[in-house]
Structure 1
Amino acid sequence: MTVMAERAVQSSQMSVEEFERIAAFAAKETDDAVRFEFINGRIGVKKVADGDHNNSDTDQRDRQEKPVAYGAAGIPLYMLIDRDACTVTLYGDPDAGVGYRSSRKEPFGARLLLPEPLGIELDTEKLKQYVD
C-alpha cells in the first residue's frame, strides 16, 4: 500500500473520542437496548445479548478481532468465556503490533489466576451451570 493510500485509510477511521460520544448518545436514546463496539476503527452495533452467542458475527468478533484490537489498544487482559467449548481463555501481555503475546486456555472447573491489575484467582466451576 502506498503512503498516500495508507493515510487515506487511517483518516477514514473513527477516533476513540468520536466513538465514545456516539455510544454515550445512543445509550441514552435506546435505553441500553443495543451495544456499540469499536474494533479496528469501525463501529459495530448489536442488540444486548440474551445469552445466545452462537452466530458467526459474534464468533468472528470475540475470537479473532477483539484479541487483536484490545491487545493493540493496551488493554491488560481479555477473557473469552466459550460456552460451546466449555473453556475460558485469558489473553495477556498486550502488544501494539500483534494484539496479545500470551494466552492461556482452561476448561470450565479449573482455577484461573488473573494477574495484576486484577490479582485474583477465578474459580470457573460455576460456569458449568450456564452450558446447555
Structure 2
Amino acid sequence: MTPSTADHAQMSVEEFEQIAHSIPETVTLEFINGKLEVKHVPDGAHDEIIMWVADQCMQSRPELRLYRERGLKVETYRRGRARPDGTLAPRGHFAAHGEWSDPDGVLMVAEVTSYDGDTDSRDRKEKRDGYAAAGIPVYLLVDRDADELVVYTNPRNGAYKARTSHPYGAAVTLPDPVSITLDTDELKNYAR
C-alpha cells in the first residue's frame, strides 16, 4: 500500500468534525484520506440526477431509502468522513445515528460528478477508494463528463474488484445487495 495523505493528515478527525459542525449550510466539507475537501454546491442537473436515482430505487425497492448527503465514516481506522450524494440503506436505518454513521448496513453509495477541477480525484479515485475500504458493497458513479454510469462492486482489501460502465440509455443492473435495474434513458435529458 502506498503512503497516503492520511499518514500525514492535515488535522485529526475530531478537529475536522468541529470545523464541519460549525460551517454555514452553503458549504459542505469532507475529510478524505486525511485531507480536508470542500464539496461544491451542485447545479440543477446534478440535483435532478440524484433525485432520479432516488426515484428509481424507491420504485423498485420501497423498503429502501436513498439518503442525501448522509455523513459516513469511511476508510480504515475512521480517518475519513464523506457525504455521498446518495446513500442507499433500509428505511429508518439512520434514525438513531448522529451526524457521522458507520457504513455498516449501507447497501450502496451514489455520486454524481460535478463540473469542477476536483471531480476526477475526488469522485473517481479518493471517494471510490474510501467507500471500498469501508466495505460498501456497491458504488454507483454517474459520470457526467462521459455520459455514463460506472458501477463498482466486490470491495476487498481496500479496492473494488469489479467495474462496469454503461452509456446513458442502457439498462443498468445493480447487483446484490441492491438488486435494482435502472432505466437510464431519462439521463439523456441532463447531458451537456
TM range (shorter): 0.7 to 0.9
Which of 28, 31, 51 is 1:35 aligned to?
A: 28
Gaps of 5+ in 2: 47-112
Which of 109, 131, 134 is 1:70 aligned to?
A: 131
Gaps of 5+ in 1: 1-5
Q: Which has the larger radius of gyration?
A: 1
CA distance in structure 2 between the aligned counterparts of 1:75 and 1:21, rounded to whole angstroms: 26
Q: Deviations over 1:9-43 (max 9, x none)?
A: 3777634x7655653x14xx412x11222321222
Q: Would you say the 8 A contact 2:174–2:180 is kept in 1?
A: yes
Measured after TM superposition, the shift of residue 108 of structure 1 is 0.5
Is residue 110 of structure 2 the alignment partner of residue 49 of structure 1? no
Aligned residue runs from structure 1 range 1-132, under 5 A: 9=7, 14-15=12-13, 19=16, 22-23=19-20, 25-26=21-22, 29-31=23-25, 33-50=26-43, 51=46, 53-97=114-158, 99-132=159-192
RMSD: 2.8
Q: Deviations over 1:99-129 (max 9, x none)?
A: 2111110111111111223221111111110
CA distance in structure 2 between the aligned counterparts of 1:46 and 1:127, rounded to whole angstroms: 23
Would you say how many aligned residue pairs link Structure 1 and Structure 2? 121
SS at match of 2:152: strand
Q: Would you say the 8 A contact 2:10–2:35 is kept in 1?
A: no
Relative to structure 1, is the Cα distance of residues 63 and 22 closer, same or farther in structure 2, using a 3 angstrom cutoff?
A: same
| RCO higher in structure (CA 8 A, sep ≥6) | 2
Which aligned segments of 4 or more residues in structure 1 are displaced greater than 2 angstroms?
Answer: 8-15, 17-23
SS at match of 2:135: coil
Instruction: Name the stretch that deviates more: 112-121 or 80-89.
Output: 112-121
Percent identical residues: 45
TM-score normalised to structure 1 length:
0.74
CA distance in structure 1 between the aligned counterparts of 2:118 and 2:16, rounded to whole angstroms: 20
